[in-house]
Amino acid sequence: MISGACTLNSRGGLKAAGKTGLEFSGEKQGFFEDRETKSRAAYSGEIYNYPELRLELEKAGCGFSSALESELVLRAYQRWGPGCQSKFNGEWSFAVWDAEKKSLFCSRDRFGLRPFYYFFDGKTFAFASKLKALAAFPFVKKEPNKRAVFDYLVSNRPNLPEETFFKDIKQLGPGCCLSVSPAGLVKNKYYSPSYNPELGEFDKKDLKKRSSEFLALLKSSLEARLRPPYPLGSTLSGGMDSSTIVCLAEGLLGGSGAGRGKLKLFSILWEKEARYIKDVSGRVGFRSCRIKPAEAAGASWEEIRKVALSFERPLNQTTFFGGLALLKKAAGEGVKVILDGGGGDELLAGYPEKYFSVYLGQVIRGGDLARFAREFRVLYADRLGDFGVGKKIGPEFYKTFLRTQTGAPGLSAVFPEKTLNGEFFRDCSRRAGREPAGLQLNLQEMLYRDTLKLGCEYNPRASVTYRRPFLDHRLVEYVFSLPACYKLHGGWTKFLLREAMNGILPKEVCWRKVKVGGTAPISVWKDFLGRNREKMKAVLGGPVFHSAAFLDQEVVLANFDALFDAAVSPETTDISALWRFVNLELWLGENMK
């Protein structure tokens, strides 16, 4: 964790808030001071090309006094200035105090995988890599951000690019940096990859070339993330992304069992994923640490509450069971770093109902009705029926299609508008702008936006560090340069990845049609809700209602039974509305006191 604070001095300098000199701190491994120049760096993250960069700097005459990555960050800044950001391959948030220029330079990695929060009121600037650390400064008011709460409750969109749930605390956006000097604060975007907006014409020969280039980049990314010194593990959910990481890792670490002790696999044997997990783990030489569904599903109310509150914002998804069980297992095995397939779905269009609707809309607008009919027919026959929505293909598909095309927010069917505080709803409804439709109409733009939203989804208190090979900027830039036809083709999602891994992955995994994911089945969550009905009602019915500015407590309690029954109904596939009520109340009570 890093943090710091300073005030702008009217006489042309910066000084610490309440102290002499700049207040600047970081954990031992994340802090470095140049004793000669008095410049300092506070850093959180991982630079995967550390050896190559250090060698380049040493050849340029830079001396090193430690092996700390925080020193590498400082030396790189001293050598290249803000240009150092383009040199790094990794994930980071850092602040560098330039003693000569009397200025502070702050940066967040390209995809926002490491958080960087800041406060600035025109005079005082403070930053931290953890939201609660920044909120602890006495000059920061603990006041909720109404817009963030509204989007969370109504539109189920928790990630505002540069805002947080604290009104006065901002976050530095992905690929952004800022500098603070006596002249004030200046913010810049240093990274914004371009993307190919075209559908393109599918070509088998070109696909072979593209898939080979893609695979080479993915292997390079994975190799960089397999470097020591920490004990390594990998998730294995049974899906394509995690299975790809595991199968490629075996080749890089040593096949035929040579790498058995170098990587541990962590899996939850959910019913629909177990056979795929066993198939992949049986083909590689790594030790498999498997978690039984009953063990993963048996989390108590207190465990789930603690996990929910450990995040920097109220969560909109009910995905705790799997993550909590995996973290416990990894900690028990002494694993500090876990490889993860995060980003693969967003980069390669892995969610069929979401991305195919956008893709087909783009096809229609291009006037290629033959392609539309071909893809639409294959999609219906080979995909949507497998999702169990065959009886409602028409209306459900077009509802999703229209929503993704327009970007229009909408209330859940089990989220009655009347549960909101009337004044809050009227005020925010007037100010809530719709996203421009054009931004949602292009598949590549949508994938780009989704990829840049990934940074806030991970638990900041977890003792395990996640490494995500699919989010190497070289790989991302390459995939974005390709037309859409190599991602979605013939009713298949992630076609480029399937082609690249054909013959490496088990066939049943590489060409499986149903996407389930590694999260707990909804039945597990419904069982959890059933066990904790009264606890949730007690949270919403407490004498001190922290959500009073946003929810009408009387109406919520009057409708609680109906909301609960709808959430646990066998026909319900979305239980997040009720959870958002409960989670918001818990989170506000914990963070706004």
Whichever domain contains 256, its CATH number is 3.40.50.620
pLDDT at 16 over 80: no
Domain match, 166 and 39 both: yes
Number of domains forming the structure of the chain = 4
> Across residues 430-440, what is the average pLDDT?
46
β-bridge mates for residue 189, sequence order: 176
Q: What is the predicted pLDDT for the residue at 227?
A: 84
- What tokens appear for 83 in the block? 């240009």
pLDDT tier, 574 (very low <50, low <70, confident <90, very high otherwise)? low
pLDDT at 58 over 80: yes
Alpha-carbon distance 549 to 149, whole Å?
Answer: 10
Domain match, 319 and 368 both: no
Give the domain range for residue 544. Answer: 522-591
pLDDT at 241 over 60: yes
| pTM of the model as a whole | 0.86
Q: pLDDT by residue (tens digit) across 297-327?
A: 777 888 888 877 888 888 766 666 677 778 8
- The mean pLDDT of the chain is 82
133 membership: H or E segment, kind and range: helix 131-135
pLDDT tier, 365 (very low <50, low <70, confident <90, very high otherwise)? confident
| Domain-embedded: residue 111 | yes
Domain match, 361 and 266 both: no
CB 222, CB 468: distance < 8 Å: no
pLDDT at 94 over 60: yes
> Across residues 523-532, what is the average pLDDT?
83
| Domain-embedded: residue 297 | yes
Alpha helices in 10-113 (DSSP H): 50-59, 69-80
| Domain-embedded: residue 308 | yes
End-to-end CA distance of the chain: 22
pLDDT at 219 over 90: yes
pLDDT tier, 380 (very low <50, low <70, confident <90, very high otherwise)? low
Domain final residue pick, 189, 220, 254: 189
Domain match, 303 and 156 both: no
Domain final residue pick, 189, 223, 255: 189
Domain match, 438 and 475 both: no
∠ CA(307), CA(312), CA(314), 5° rounding? 70
Domain match, 307 and 375 both: no
pLDDT at 403 over 70: no
Task: Output DSSP code: residue 575.
Answer: -
* Residue 406 neighbours by CB distance under 10 Å: 15
- What tokens appear for 542 in the block? 């407490």
| Domain-embedded: residue 429 | no
> Across residues 476-480, what is the average pLDDT?
94
> Across residues 551-574, what is the average pLDDT?
83
| Domain-embedded: residue 239 | yes
| CATH code of the domain in which 85 resides | 3.60.20.10
| Domain-embedded: residue 195 | no
Q: What is the predicted pLDDT for the residue at 388?
A: 40
Domain match, 462 and 571 both: no
Q: pLDDT by residue (tens digit) across 102-140?
A: 899 999 999 999 999 999 999 899 999 988 889 999 999
Alpha helices in 254-298 (DSSP H): 274-283, 293-297
| Domain-embedded: residue 516 | no
pLDDT tier, 158 (very low <50, low <70, confident <90, very high otherwise)? low
CB 202, CB 496: distance < 8 Å: no
> Across residues 175-184, what is the average pLDDT?
93
Q: What is the predicted pLDDT for the residue at 119?
A: 95
Domain match, 181 and 239 both: no
Domain match, 336 and 357 both: no
Backbone angles phi, psi at 90, to 5 degrees: 165, -155
Q: What is the predicted pLDDT for the residue at 27?
A: 54
Residue with tokens 């029954």: 565
Domain match, 275 and 411 both: no
> Across residues 334-344, what is the average pLDDT?
90
| Domain-embedded: residue 542 | yes
Domain match, 216 and 296 both: yes
CB 156, CB 316: distance < 8 Å: yes
Q: pLDDT by residue (tens digit) across 282-292?
A: 999 899 999 88
Q: What is the predicted pLDDT for the residue at 566?
A: 78
Nearest residue to 344 via CA among 213, 474, 450, 481:
450
∠ CA(176), CA(179), CA(184), 5° rounding? 125
Nearest residue to 93 via CA among 156, 215, 1:
1
Q: What is the predicted pLDDT for the residue at 386?
A: 44
pLDDT tier, 430 (very low <50, low <70, confident <90, very high otherwise)? low
Which has the minimum average pLDDT: 213-222, 242-251, 395-404?
395-404
Q: Percent of the chain having pLDDT more than 90?
A: 46
Alpha-carbon distance 300 to 305, whole Å?
Answer: 9
Q: What is the predicted pLDDT for the residue at 387?
A: 41
pLDDT tier, 28 (very low <50, low <70, confident <90, very high otherwise)? low
Domain match, 75 and 177 both: yes
Q: What is the predicted pLDDT for the residue at 187?
A: 97
Which has the minimum average pLDDT: 177-191, 384-398, 561-575?
384-398
pLDDT at 258 over 80: no
Q: What is the predicted pLDDT for the residue at 14?
A: 52
Q: What is the predicted pLDDT for the residue at 141?
A: 92
Domain final residue pick, 510, 541, 566: 510
